Amino acid sequence: MVRVPLTISERERGERLGRALRTARAGRSIVDVATQAGISPETLRKIERGRIPTPAFFTVVAVADVLGLSLDDLLSGLGADDAADMATLGR
Amino acid sequence: MVRVPLTISERERGERLGRALRTARAGRSIVDVATQAGISPETLRKIERGRIPTPAFFTVVAVADVLGLSLDDLLSGLGADDAADMATLGR
DNA sequence: TCGCGCACCGGTATTAGTATCACTGCCATG
DNA sequence: CATGGCAGTGATACTAATACCGGTGCGCGA
């Protein structure tokens, strides 16, 4: 196999990221935030629901920026976020 | 067309990100950093050379963490990094 | 000089991210 | 009751990310 499928842990990490973003969105609508971030509402919805567990870097950056979130804060609220854990997440 | 190809601006933004990471890596070897971050050396090399312009979020997070970089600092050194600019980057 | 390790590249194979579309359901407002 | 907006889903189409492999070149130590 050439590219390994995402592990369970990686998908769970994606769910945590999505939940954090959804919480930060608070009352605003998905359509509103997605449009401002320059992505499609479906994509933001999938990220928030964990159906896109490892979104592109700049996609997350754009959404966090619209929500006024610091990336460092966003990550620190995710649980296991240091590289040592990442590297051994599902391997 | 369903998924639009990356624009020139997005590729240039990827090159800036790669340069920033390479600078931060300083003297350490690609193999060393990539292994610690849990990714393959080829992937890190492609990111640094801009041949992967929009890497996965957690990939960048892992590399930045190994390098001791704050994501916010990393982004602020990239130039146009607010969502308004992102959204209109190449559209 | 001969290995050896690292950087780099191109190709290949496979999975993932993203946009568009076509639906359903819910709720508020006319 | 009708209509319209938003959330959600699933399918489809397409590009991108990632890993592995084989090859090249370069510098450095034995």
Look up the CATH number of the domain holding residue A69: 1.10.260.40
Q: Is residue A63 part of a domain?
A: yes
- Provide the CA B10 to C1' D27 distance, Å, integer: 35
Residue B1 lies in a domain: no
pLDDT tens per residue across span B2-39: 899 999 999 999 999 999 999 999 889 999 999 999 99
Q: How far apart are CA A71 and CA A91, in angstroms?
A: 26
- A72/B65 Cβ within 8 A: no
A2 touches strand C (CB under 7 A): yes
User: B86, B88, B89: best mutation site toward chain A, by most A Cβ within 10 Å?
Assistant: B86
Is residue A15 over pLDDT 50? yes
Domain span at A37: 8-87
Residue A2 lies in a domain: no
Domain count, chain A: 1
CA dihedral B78, A48, A30, B74 (to 10 degrees): -10
Q: Which two tokens stand for residue B64?
A: 């930045």
Is residue B34 a part of any domain in this protein? yes
With bands split at pLDDT 50, 70 and 90, how would you rate the model's confidence at A48?
A: very high
For tokens 């990336």, name the residue: A71
Residue A70 CB coordination number (10 Å) = 13
The answer as to whether A1 is a domain residue is: no
Q: Which two tokens stand for residue B43?
A: 């992937």
Could you tell me if residue B73 is inside a domain?
yes
Residue A40 in domain: yes
What is the average pLDDT value for chain B, to the nearest integer?
A: 88
Residue A18 lies in a domain: yes
Q: Which nucleotide is nearest to A46 (CA to C1')?
A: D8
How far are the Cα atoms of A79, B27, B33, B71 from residue B68, in angstroms, in the given order?
18, 14, 11, 9
Residue A77: pLDDT band with limits 50, 70, 90:
confident
State the Cα–Cα distance between residues B80 and B91, nearest whole angstrom.
Answer: 15
| Distance from residue B58's CA to nucleotide C14's C1', rounded to whole Å | 20
Q: What is the pLDDT of residues B48-82, one digit of tens each?
A: 999 999 999 999 999 999 999 999 999 998 875 45
